[in-house]
């Protein structure tokens, strides 16, 4: 029961944080490029890589890794935004968006893992 509670509370704060960071990025960088989603996904990739490698207790990983970062990052929104860009015939933006998300996401997860590994 404790794990479920940690995931639920972490998810609550992760979703609110995602909403806030996404809106701040949209307002600050008014462009066709989905800055809010890529910002949360790249930050989340780095942090999850770090949490996975660092010697944290299971409860901390459950709260932050599964709950908070699970709600903070969003694969589904990234997918829909890429499709919307394709439908709007913004092919180069869509390709750059997907490439940056995947390539930088994996590199940042590795960097976080490398920093967290002891």
The torsion angles phi and psi of 117, rounded to 5 degrees, stand at: -70, 130
Give the list of residues 6+ apart from residue 27 with CB closer than 8 angstroms, or none. Answer: none
User: Is residue 109 a contact partner of residue 45, using CB atoms and an 8 Å limit?
Assistant: yes
DSSP code at position 50: H
Which residues are documented as binding site?
70, 73
Q: What is the largest CA-CA distance in the chain?
A: 48
Q: How far is 33 from 28, CA to CA, in rounded Å?
A: 12
Q: How far is 13 from 2, CA to CA, in rounded Å?
A: 17
Which residues are documented as binding site for Na(+)?
70, 73
């Amino acid at each position: 029961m404790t794990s479920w509670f940690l995931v639920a509370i972490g998810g609550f704060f992760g979703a609110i944080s995602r909403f806030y960071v996404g809106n701040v990025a949209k307002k600050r960088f008014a462009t066709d490029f989905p800055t809010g989603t890529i910002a949360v996904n790249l930050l989340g990739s780095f942090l999850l890589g770090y949490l996975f490698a660092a010697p944290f207790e299971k409860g901390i990983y459950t709260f932050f890794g599964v709950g908070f970062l699970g709600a903070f990052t969003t694969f589904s929104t990234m997918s829909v935004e890429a499709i919307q860009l394709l439908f709007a015939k913004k092919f180069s933006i869509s390709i750059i968006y997907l490439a940056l998300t995947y390539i930088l996401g994996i590199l940042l997860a590795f960097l976080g893992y490398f920093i967290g590994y002891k």
